Structure 1
């Protein structure tokens, strides 16, 4: 009885997370044009804003280099950034988890060794 209740609770929590992640993307409406009449990207990053501001301040500015691969849209760039963040968080979580497990196992070995000496 307890196992099925826990399984149902876990499934509902997972569905809730999926709904919370997808609903904002579904209900957002893209405005046709911004204040200055240019097309507005909803998921645009700060890089584009900084580039445009530098262009306004110093129109003769030339970048030091160009990107090797340019994402097709702002949404793809956001997805790649999120993927990078997820991989980094996974790596850090794995590293911290193995460190905690290693410490726990060391303490158990010490406790077992102390118990044999008594």
Structure 2
């Protein structure tokens, strides 16, 4: 599921940032799809994270996982400004480049432990 979310986010973000240059119904439709797919990560993480941490550190593990994502998101926002400068002020190119973070997610998910059918760690 996570791999699919990353793939869909990557594809539709690329369409939005690289293929849309005017505001019309298609732009709104693609932006809506990007929003829905990207927001789906917030439904997936709370289900998966408790399954990989033992009870005694579950809340701490989830807190670190969620907040490290916030730190990385801040780094991404700061990187976008540098990319815009590198791409001669092209916001679409900078944003399309930032969406490559989904490729990292698609690779890293293969390193995550499988929890399906396993009891919660004590």
TM-score per shorter chain, which class? 0.3 to 0.5
Greater relative CO, 1 or 2 (CA 8 Å, sep 6+) = 2
Greater share of helix residues, 1 or 2?
2
TM-score (norm 1): 0.41
TM-score (norm 2): 0.40
